[in-house]
Every structure is written in C-alpha cells, then in structure tokens.
Amino acid sequence: MGEAITKPVAVVTGGAGFIGSHLVDVLVERGFAVRVVDDLSGGHRSNLAHHPSDAVTVIEKDIRTLEPGDAAFAGARYVFHLAGIGDIVPSIEKPTQYMDVNVQGTVRVLECARAAGVDKLVYAASSSCYGLAATPTREDHPIQPMYPYALSKYQGEQAVMHWHKVYGLPVNAICIFNAYGPRVRTTGVYGAVFGVFLRQKLAGKPFTVVGDGTQTRDFIYVRDVAEAFVAAALTPISGERFNVGAGAPQSINRLVEILGGEVVYVPKRPGEPDITHADIAKITTQLGWKPTVPFEQGVANMLADIERWRDAPLWEPASIAKATQTWFRYMGEA
C-alpha cells in the first residue's frame, strides 16, 4: 500500500480521531508503516496531515463493512482498535447504532486480525464500564455499565477476550479513563469537557460547570495513552485489561482555575460518578508504563492549541439543558 517494505505494519482503526491520531504519531516515530482505517465520521484527515504518505495510509472505510482478508490488514503485525462511537449522551437516544458499531464493528475487526495472523490486537476499552465505582478502581472491579455507550464498549471488550480464549488471538485491552489533549473531539454533540470549555473561553463566555465543580476526574494526557497502547502491543503478556489514568484525579474547579474565566453552574447529571480514579498498579508493574505529563502542563499544551476549537459548537446552559433532556429522563430512573 505504498509503505516501505522494510517497515513493520500496524493498523489503527479510528486512527484519524483524537487518541488514534496520537497513537499514529507514536507508531511512526517507532518506525512503523501505519494503515489507518477510519470512516472519518468523527476523525479528520488533518490530524494526520503532518505525516509523509509513505508512513501513513488512510483507508476510508466503515469497520462494519470489513471482511476477513481485507487488504488493509495484509502483513500487519499489530492492530490497534480504537474506531467506534464515543459520545455518551447520544447513546441513550441511539442505542442500536452504538451496539452495531462498537460491538459488531469490533467483531469485524477481530476477524480481520485473526485472518491476518497478527502478533497482537489492542482494544480501546472504557472506564465507563465500571459505573459508579469504588476508588481507586482496579481492573477486577465489578462491571456496572450505566448507559448504552458503556455497555457497548464493554461488550466489545468481551468479544476481544472471547476471541483470545476461543481462537487464540493475542489481545490486550487498554481501559482509558479521562483522556485529554490536543485534537480532542469538537463534534456537534454535547460531550467532552475540554471541547466545551475551550470553545467557551474563545468566545469569552462563562464555563458551564456541572454540579458544584468539586467532582474529580482522572485526566490522562493523550500522548501517555498512546504510549500505553504501544506497550500493550509489544509485551508478551496477552489476554489482559490494563487501566490507564494518571492516578491523580483533578477537580473540574481546578481545571477552570487553570483555564481562567467566569463560571455558570448547570444541574448535575444523575448516574455520573463524583470521582474517577484509576488504580494503575497493574500497568506500571507489568508493562513498565507510567504517566509522564503533569496536568498543568497538559492543559497548557491545549491552551497553546486553542484556535483548533474556534469552529466547535458553543454550548450555553439552555442548549445544554435541551441536549441532555433524554439523559435526565432515563438516567434519573437508573
């Protein structure tokens, strides 16, 4: 596909997206020829434009259409499966689509990886599968998906581990907590706090803080997440889930303090945890991975790239209330 024959090949599904594009960066730096399989519904070619064409090939394709023997997987040593639908609130409105893409799409990728005889498939799992979890949260914590997005990501992970058990496919799962960093999604749906806040800062509008802002999130910088995926691929260990977070939760109020600006408060959403906190002992011990980017530095990096959010949706209390009506309707009963 145009890449140098001497380079090992890695396939990254969803590689034009937020985390996927940073993973592509790391793989190219490591000497891989990378094939990106992405339907570009949530990612952008511009996220990969800085790479030469002989290093990165973009294959525009919906993962649900993949079949064993697809040329994108031919000769690949590693498959990193990050493609999927990642917005939480809309999953309550479109559960069928989420299950179709995040579960059935994953099965399609698994079959392609199995047919290609890859050395390892690494799956992007979600910490949302833990639900309202005890903290710090270990990998063996009981599973309690609170909304269809979380359920779909967990069932995708179950399929990955099933293919390992039944077919002997070498796999690992990276369970991502609250990833942030440059290129974080700016989609038209209400979602990730950084995308919301950075657009508000550009517009000189107050930050819409959910609840009282004392809730904390285990924010992990995207470059550190990408390095965790590579570590999970290169290890001889297989069939494991590894939590990836900073292990140092930060409050939303602290984020606002760093960003600087006025605040307006919007109602807390039922079913959301007051704290997310990854126990990262397993990955630090078994894979030698550890977070390297302090929260303040990561936020500073995003502020340096703030113009990227100029065309993102501008959210205000009224539009947030409308966008989350379904959430309150169903999650209030959960």
Domain residue spans of the chain? 9-179+219-244, 188-217+248-273+294-331
- Please state, in angstroms and rounded to a whole number, the distance separating the CA atoms of residues 284 and 281: 5
Q: With cut-offs at 50, 70 and 90, classify the pLDDT of residue 87.
A: confident
The CATH superfamily of 188-217+248-273+294-331 is UDP-galactose 4-epimerase, domain 1 (3.90.25.10)
Least trusted range by pLDDT, from 18-22, 89-93, 98-102: 89-93
42 within 8 A of 86, measured Cβ to Cβ: yes
Mean of pLDDT values over 215-225:
97
Q: With cut-offs at 50, 70 and 90, classify the pLDDT of residue 188.
A: low
Q: With cut-offs at 50, 70 and 90, classify the pLDDT of residue 203.
A: very high
Q: Domain 9-179+219-244 falls in which CATH fold?
A: Rossmann fold (3.40.50)
Query: Does residue 190 have a pLDDT over 70?
Result: no
C-alpha dist (Å) from residue 102 to 5, 191, 259, 277: 32, 18, 33, 24
Q: What is the pLDDT of residues 105-142, one digit of tens each?
A: 999 999 999 999 999 999 999 999 999 999 999 999 99
- Please state, in angstroms and rounded to a whole number, the distance separating the CA atoms of residues 218 and 240: 21
| Catalytic residue chosen out of the listed positions 123, 149, 154, 180 | 149
C-alpha dist (Å) from residue 164 to 60, 92, 168, 169, 314: 27, 30, 5, 4, 43
Mean of pLDDT values over 291-302:
97
Query: Does residue 160 have a pLDDT over 60?
Result: yes
Query: Does residue 334 have a pLDDT over 60?
Result: no
132 within 8 A of 146, measured Cβ to Cβ: yes
CA proximity to 131, closest of 144, 141, 142: 144
Is 149 among the catalytic positions? yes
Query: Does residue 333 have a pLDDT over 70?
Result: no
C-alpha dist (Å) from residue 279 to 75, 133, 282: 36, 12, 8
Q: With cut-offs at 50, 70 and 90, classify the pLDDT of residue 192.
A: confident
CB count within 10 Å of CB 303 equals 13
